[in-house]
Every structure is written in structure tokens, then in C-alpha cells.
Amino acid sequence: MNKLTVAPELVCPAGSLRALQAAVDAGADAVYLGLKDATNARNFAGLNLDDTQVRDGVEYAHARGAKVLMALNTFADARDPGPWQRATDTAVALGADALIVADTAVMAHCRDHHPGLRLHLSVQASATSHAAIDFYRQRYGIQRAVLPRVLTLQQVGQVIRHTDVDIEVFGFGSLCVMVEGRCALSSYATGQSPNNAGVCSPPSAVRWRDGPEGVEARLGGVLIDRYAPDEPRGYPTLCKGRFSVEGQRDYAIEEPTSLNTLAILPDLIALGVKAIKIEGRQRSAAYVAQVTRVWRAAIDHAVASPGRYAVQPDWTAMLARHAEGQQHTLGAYNRPWR
């Protein structure tokens, strides 16, 4: 059978119950969400779901044939892993179809206390090779792995060819320019690691100030960018800041743009990618609905007519509205110099 006839699962963000419903209604095969605490990597005030909302969301999704994945993807505090253990028990009780996990202690708890629970290896685990993924499969029963956004298309294919674990990749959304799970950059400015606190830039550490040279963005008191009055401003993170080095002001690592893999969607499917993830639990329900509709149409088109697949102008126009810096990139998927 031609691999292009097998549709990958479309996995969409749900930072709220409304966003969950919007994703399901727009054609998501699965949604992923987190609880209102530091057990998930989008620990913002006003974001995520309480127990009642999760239960309602699971009921809504299941009634429409969609799955609910619970993200427990920060690293447990060695002094007190209890909150992470209780969160896994809560996810099971609320009917989650799978957990997205990064910490081996959390995986071990699931393995020992919920052996029938499906586990997905979070991008926060930083598994970039088939050997690493198989370690988690053998020890903890991982059934799917989400790859960090640092692999080329060829490297993704290499991983898929050498593991029986289903592979999920990011298809659209903010592009992390670091290796997820290994990044502690913001902790130098804020004292909090994104791997434990759940956010790259804790809101309490972010400050905006109007100055004579423009709007200043500071993180933990460190000036990381300055914007002209009419310049688009993204949420400030150290890795995407602009700094002056030898008289030249530029991005320290890579210019922030949004990952958009529509152009290589048939290639991802042909490699055997089992799921395409849309980033954006911190985004609005309108964002979720619009982006999900585009990707639902694109996946259906790629599977139904693989030889005639082409990125449609209206898809590009819609996604451009949500791109960071109004730009798109294929990120590490396309690195010809490697």
C-alpha cells in the first residue's frame, strides 16, 4: 500500500475547553491539554483546564470520535514528585486516552500503577535518535514519540525506519530554536527552568516599558529586545531576543518565525509519520479553529490526491495571519548545509 494513503493523526492544541471544542469541530483527530499546575509545559495563569473542564472536554471529544491527550511533560521535583503522580491518576480517572510524558519517574509511576495507559514520549524528553526512543519503549512502554524540532527530514526518516514506536512531528506553530527538554537558558535570567516551571518566560519576570528608543522587553530585568512603535512584538524569550554584538544588533540564534510544513506534508506522510502536531495551547480558540481547518483540508488532500497535492493560496493566507513575525520557515527540516 502506498504510504500516502495512510493519513497521519492531526493533533491540535486545547488551552481551554472552548479551544478543545473548536479543534474537534474543525476536524482534529486528537487534542492535547494540561492541568492548571506546573505538571505541564504551558503553565500560564488563565490557561489549561480544571478537572471538571477536562471531564467535559473528554466527553465532548469522545462523542465526536476524537481523542484527548493529557500533557504531563515537565520534570517532577525530586523533593516531591507527588503532584506529578497525582496528575497521572487524575488523567486516568478523567478518561484521557494517553499521557504525554517526559520524566522517567512519571513514566515509571504510569507503568507500575496504570499498565494499560497509553504513553506518548513528550518532545521535552529530547529523544532525537531511534536508540533513545527504544530505551523508553523497552523500559516504560512508550507507544509514540514526539520529535524535537531540530531534526532534518532525512533524520526523521532515519528514526522512523529503525523504531516500531509511532512518530509524531510538529507541523505548524512557534518554532523552538533550542532542543526542548535540554534548554535552561531562561533560568539564568529568571531563576526558573522551563523544564520545571512550565514556561520559558514566566509572566512574573516579563516587563514591557516605553522608552525613548522604542518599547523595551525585559526578562528578569535583562533587556532582551527593543521594538519600534509599529513593529510586531512576540512574547519575549531569551533565545529569540536581539542583542548588540560588536556594534551590530541582531537575533542571537535565529530570527523568530513560525514553523509551517505544508510544503513538505506529502514527504512527512511518505516517511511514515503517524501524527502531525499543531503548536499553540497558549493561543485563542479562533486560532485553533482556523489552523485546524487548514491542516484538516491539507492532510485530506495529500492522502486523497498525492500526485496532485499543492499548497493552496487560501491555506497560506490563513496561516500567515498567525505566523510569528509574519514569516514562515521549514526550520530544521530543511537544512541543505547539513
Last residue in a domain, options 230, 251, 272? 251
At residue 287 the predicted structure's pLDDT band, cuts being 50, 70 and 90, is very high
CATH code: domain of residue 110: 3.20.20.70
Domain co-membership, 161 together with 267? yes
Residue with cell 497509553: 118
Q: Is residue 181 part of a domain?
A: no
Q: What is the pLDDT of residue 325?
A: 61
Write down the pTM of the prediction: 0.88
In the chain, where do the E strands start and end? 9-13, 30-33, 67-72, 98-101, 118-121, 144-146, 166-174, 206-211, 214-219, 222-227, 242-245, 248-251, 258-260, 275-278, 328-329
Average pLDDT, the chain: 90
Mean pLDDT confidence for 215-232: 87
Q: Taking residues 152-176, what's their average pLDDT? A: 94
Q: What is the pLDDT of residues 200-220, one digit of tens each?
A: 788 888 999 988 888 999 988
> Does one domain contain both 233 and 296?
no
Choice among 27-41, 75-89, 286-300, 314-328 with the minimum mean pLDDT: 314-328
What average pLDDT does this structure show over 88-102?
A: 97
Residues 102 and 131 in one domain: yes
Residue 334 CA to residue 338 CA, distance in Å, equals 9
What is the span of the domain harbouring residue 279? Answer: 3-175+257-333
Do 265 and 221 belong together in one domain? Answer: no
Instruction: Return the minimum-mean-pLDDT range out of 66-75, 215-224, 248-257.
Output: 248-257
Instruction: Report CA-CA distances (Å) from 165 to 7, 57, 160.
Output: 17, 27, 8
Share of the chain above pLDDT 70, in %: 96
Give the separation between CA 241 and CA 327, rounded to whole angstroms: 16
Q: What is the pLDDT, as a whole number, of residue 1?
A: 39
Of the listed ranges 8-12, 102-106, 185-189, 253-257, the least confidently predicted one is 253-257
- For residues 156-163, average pLDDT: 97
The 10s digit of each residue's pLDDT in 272-285 is 999 999 999 989 99
Cα three-residue angle 260-122-284, rounded to 5 degrees: 50
